[in-house]
Structure 1
Amino acid sequence: MIIFLNGTSSSGKSSIAGELLPILGDTYFYLPVDAFHAMRTTPADLGPDQLKVVLERTWRGFHRAVAGLAAGGNNVVVDHVLSEPWRLLDCLTLFTPEDVVLVGVRCPLPELERREQRRGDRPAGLAARQLDRVHAHGHYDIECDTGAASPADCARRIRDFLPRRPRPTAFERLKSARSDEMARRT
């Protein structure tokens, strides 16, 4: 199973994952995309076009690491930002859609901005720029609002949802809706 937490920067994905992992009752790997970016070295003099290529390769490698762990029979909690349409398409081609629980992690903009400022490790306005794009695909199996509920409450909601998740899953619906677009990409 892949529990796929999607939300903007500072929306609370990592906090939810921290609360979720101990209560799932099974072995899970936690793969936050920030960890993949932190593992990469990037020369300071890299131009914007080169940096874009490096970042895309990092995201693609991240997706394949998640898919590889899941293909090996492992459960995975993913912390992700679907702010570019190609990222979702890439995941749809790699992951078994019926094994993915897509969780929308939402948070009101004023709270996102407060968290971003408090963190100090994100460019100002990053969450605001991502907000509309991250949830543009429109389908989730379950959603959490970290402005209204604590990470522990969100984690319990997700855990309690897992045994009764509906079919088709959000990933199944998304893959079906985007099958033509995915065929053009391959």
Structure 2
Amino acid sequence: MAPGRIVFLNGTSSSGKSSIARELLNVLDDGVFFHMAVDDFNAMRTKRALEAEELDAALRRTRMGFHRSIAAMAEAGNDIVVDHVLSEPWRLLDCLTVLRPENVLFVGVRCPLDELTRREQLRGDRPPGLAAYQHTRVHAHGDYDLECDTSTATPYECALRIRDFLPHRPTPTAFTRLRHHHLPAELDDRGRQAR
């Protein structure tokens, strides 16, 4: 069975990733796609209050599990739309390690900081300043296959652009280039340590 394709949306909180993902499920018509969002994984966690150190460890395990869930779904032949915030370098490195880089279309979801701040205030369900904190960190790796600006295009327009680009993914993909740049050469073609 061929592994599934992964459309990986990376951007700050309030940048429009989830809205684009929902539109993608409606416009991608050459397969069955699943939307996997890091927020959904965070929502599954216990609701009791956790001390800072325990919370940090739980969040790291959650995100590592999320990355491996994406990989498992794709390995089973499912096409995936990922909605994630790569605001810490280790998150990208972990994804580069567990996902087949040639099957990932890496999409940067960008939005100017003033618009992110406005959206964050309207939402009211995010800590103030979260998007500003993430703004420079999320795109620090600097390499994508495709980028969308949600201040100048609607989620639907972004989804159409991604749909039209998907069959024309570059070779090598951004994930392949990033993996070669950031990970040791002894990784095999599936991202696992070569024996």
Q: 2:79 aligns with which of 75, 80, 97?
A: 75
- Residue number among 179, 183, 186 corresponding to 1:179 in the alignment: 183
Would you tell me which structure has more helix in proportion to its own residues?
1
Decide which of 3, 17, 22 is 2:21's aligned counterpart: 17
Pairing partner for 1:165 from 169, 177, 194: 169
Is 1:33 aligned to residue 38 of structure 2?
A: yes
Do the aligned partners of 2:93 and 2:183 also contact (CA within 8 Å) in 1? Answer: no
Partner of 2:58: 54
Paired residue for 1:143? 147
| CA distance in structure 2 between the aligned counterparts of 1:179 and 1:58, rounded to whole angstroms | 22
Per the normalisation by structure 1, the TM-score is 0.95
Query: Equivalents in 1 of 2:32, 2:42: separation in Å?
Result: 24
Deviation by residue 1:25-70 (Cα, 9 ceiling, x = unmatched): 12011001100011111421x2111110011011011011101000
Query: 1:12 Cα shift?
Result: 0.1
Give, in whole Å, the separation in 1 of the partners of 2:183 and 2:69. Answer: 23
2:88 maps to 84
Amino acid at match of 1:132: T
Distance 1:33 1:144 in 2: 20
Distance 2:11 2:74 in 1: 21
- CA RMSD, 1 decimal: 1.4
Whichever residue aligns with residue 9 of structure 1, its letter is S
Percent identity over the alignment is 63
- 1:98 equivalent to 2:102? Answer yes
Unpaired segments ≥5 residues, structure 1: none
| Count of residues in Structure 1 that have an aligned counterpart in Structure 2 | 183
Partners of 2:138 and 2:62 in 1: how far apart?
Answer: 18
Partner of 2:67: 63
| 1:181–1:164 distance in 2 versus 1, CA, 3 Å | closer
Contact 1:93 1:182 in 2 (8 A): no
CA contact (8 A) 1:66 1:76 kept: yes
Instruction: Point out where structure 2 has 5 or more consecutive residues left out of the alignment.
Output: 188-192
Q: Secondary structure at the match of 1:87?
A: helix
Q: Is the 8 A contact 1:14 1:79 kept in 2?
A: yes
Q: Deviations over 1:123-171 (max 9, x none)?
A: 0000000010000011000000000111011000000001111100000
Deviation at 1:181, TM superposition (A): 9.4
Contact 1:89 1:182 in 2 (8 A): no
Instruction: Check conservation: 1:4, 1:102, Cα contact below 8 A.
Output: yes
